[in-house]
Structure 1
């Protein structure tokens, strides 16, 4: 976790509070060392910016790490449906692969 980068992202968030990329960047910064904070930020993204496709992969993986498999499953499925609907083929392949791996881990 890079404290300088987090401080800069927090500043950007104050300047542009509705920018989903900034929220996403913050969540990924917190993911390794402060996963609960990352989870809160991913939840905010899923609630306020449900079309931000990058969220689904990381949010589902984090929920799986927290052993909240039902929620992770829902997030993967919603992300896959959204990627299909929007024709985001790269994101769709990544989500499908991650979801398949997730299912095998069960």
Structure 2
């Protein structure tokens, strides 16, 4: 069964599951449906602002769309979340992505 369809079915039972929503957004990206992916990432971060991995992937998506200013904003928000969560690995990845755009 198509992974997108399967994830959408699972999310009917648990619509706020951040992990499954994140997986769905990544599948949308693989399928070339970046607008859908962006909506899912933004939904995740509005309901679960400490789901750090979504900041990186949303930022990269925004970079591909040419919206570097918004990508930097997202990376910085992600860095704040990573710091709150004590996730130094994610913080460093987000910082590197942000610095690449700023310099």
Matching residue of 2:69: 70
The corresponding residue for 2:53 is: 54
**Partner of 1:96 in structure 2?**
95
2:50, 2:82 within 8 Å by CA — same for their partners in 1?
Answer: no
Aligned to 1:84: 83
Aligned to 1:5: 3
Q: TM-score, normalised by structure 1?
A: 0.88
Distance 1:59 1:102 in 2: 14
Partner of 1:40: 39
TM-score by length of 2: 0.90
Provide the C-alpha distance between the structure 2 equivalents of 1:71 and 1:98, rounded to a whole number of angstroms. 13
Separation in structure 2 between the aligned mates of residue 4 and residue 11 of structure 1, nearest angstrom: 11
Deviations 1:26-77 (A, max 9, x none): 1011114111111111111121111111100000111111112221111000
The root-mean-square deviation of aligned C-alpha atoms, in Å, is 1.4
Which consecutive residues of structure 1, in runs of 5 or more, have no partner in the other structure? none
SS at match of 1:31: helix
Partner of 1:15: 13
Matched residues in 2 for 1:12 and 1:88: separation?
Answer: 28
